[in-house]
Amino acid sequence: MSEPFAIRRATTRDIETLVELRLALQSGNSDGIEVDWAAAGEACRRYFAETLPREVFVVFVAEAEGRVVATSGVSFVSRPPGSTSFLQCEGYVTNVYTVPEWRGRGVATALMNATIEYAQQRGARLVYLHTSDAGRSVYEQLGFAQYPRYMERRL
């Protein structure tokens, strides 16, 4: 039996849907902060219009029942060569979101597999991401591991 959804690369024709799903993802992560959703939507629209054609940010979508039900994206970072590897391309996975009624059906796993395969084809030596507690088990099952040495500073 085939999967009840299909995975494909997003194109600029998908921008409005990508914006809608991005805002849905962010609304669950806003932690009560006041957000100008119209401005956020416009910023997302500009970002996708600029990055999708140049493959700076590559997005995969899952389609089911005639609509996009999930998304996953990857952008690439080039780092200087290190002592153990001269190929230093890394993929940063973001924008992973599945509409609530399609969660638990393997959609995120299928999207992540497509994203990982694409990153390998682009020469990435690793992929990394930030996760929510709800998504952690999906990523662990795909072989992702937590690394505590990561730090960040907001600018």
Q: What residue ranges define each of the domains in the chain, with the CATH number in brackets? A: 6-141 (3.40.630.30)
- The identity of residue 96, as a single letter, is V
Global pTM reads 0.88
CB-CB contact of 124 with 76 (8 Å): yes
Residue 35's pLDDT band (boundaries 50, 70, 90)?
confident
Q: In terms of Cα–Cα distance, which of 29, 60, 23 is closest to 43?
A: 23
pLDDT of residue 100: 95
pLDDT of residue 138: 94
Give me the mean pLDDT over the 136-140 stretch.
93
Residue 113 scores a pLDDT above 80: yes
Token pair recorded at residue 56: 């700076």
Give me the mean pLDDT over the 103-130 stretch.
95
CA 25, CA 14: separation in Å to the nearest integer?
A: 16
CB-CB contact of 10 with 53 (8 Å): no
Q: How many CB atoms lie within 10 A of CB 63?
A: 15
* 10 DSSP 8-state letter: -
* Mean residue pLDDT across the chain: 91
Residue 85 scores a pLDDT above 90: no
pLDDT of residue 10: 98
pLDDT of residue 71: 98
